Amino acid sequence: MNTREKRLLILFGVVIFAVLNFYGYNLYAQKMNSLEQEIGAEGNEILGKPATGLIGEIALAEQNLAERESKEREMAWLAENEPDPEEGGAVQSKLESFVTNQARAAGLTTDRPKILPNDTEGVYYHKAIFELKATGMEDGLYRWLVQLHDPSSFRAVTSLRLSPNREDDTRIDAVVRVQQWYVPQAL
């Protein structure tokens, strides 16, 4: 056999191998599909559910388990950090004193403090709302905002408007609305 015949024989061998692999894969895929359908039909008969199959049921169960674990972590955090029930007026005054004291500690000057009416529409939590205009240097203002916004204390800065001070370019005017969520005394 000469070299051309050997090359032709090798080429035919490779082509036959590729064709056999193609048919073999198709046969394997058909078997797997029929097996999945068979498992799905048996699983649906056992569970009495629409045709999703055991594989779909397992995926759904795993998803439900992950959601459950996530909700359990959230509930544990809430049980650990939830504030004690208080009266709305007391929460408002505590929020006002906290916000103004923190502003003074950060070197800010305050103006136009405004206690807004409590939002009592929530089923489990109500909100005390306080608005304040503060003026100061940039670093002090940012430190103050970081101290105000504390989700673990159920307190958040929900509105913030920054503008340069008209008299002094090195200072910033900020109008801040802070909300404190609290558990009302009588639900």
**What pLDDT band is residue 111 in, cutting at 50, 70 and 90?**
confident
Q: Are strands 172-182 and 155-164 parallel, antiparallel or unpaired?
A: antiparallel
Match 């430190």 to its residue by tokens. 143
Q: State the average pLDDT for the chain.
A: 86
Residue 80 corresponds to which amino acid? E
Q: What is the pLDDT of residue 42?
A: 52
Identify the band that residue 53 occupies on the pLDDT scale cut at 50, 70 and 90. Answer: low
Q: Residue 161 CB: number of other CB atoms within 10 A? A: 10
Q: Tell me, what's the pLDDT at 51?
A: 44
Query: Looking at the predicted structure, is the pLDDT value of residue 117 above 50?
Result: yes
Confidence label for 187 from pLDDT (cuts 50, 70 and 90):
low
CATH code 3.30.70.60 region(s) in the chain: 88-182
pLDDT digits (tens, 9 = 90+) for 24-52: 999 999 988 887 777 665 554 444 455 45
Measure CA of the first residue to CA of the last residue in the chain; give whole Å.
97
Q: At residue 173, does pLDDT exceed 90?
A: yes
Burial class (CB in 10 A: 0-12, 13-18, 19+), 98: middle
* Per-residue pLDDT band at 6 (split at 50, 70, 90): confident
DSSP for 79-108 reads HHHPPPPB-HHHHHHHHHHHHHHHHHHTT-
Mean pLDDT of 139-144: 92
pLDDT at 75 over 50: yes
- At 119, is the secondary structure helix, strand, or coil? strand
Degrees (nearest 5) of the Cα angle 107, 112, 118? 110
| pLDDT band at 5; cut points 50, 70, 90 | confident
What average pLDDT does the segment 114-140 reach? 89
The mean per-residue pLDDT over the stretch 95-109 comes to 92
At the top level of CATH, which class does the domain 88-182 belong to? alpha beta
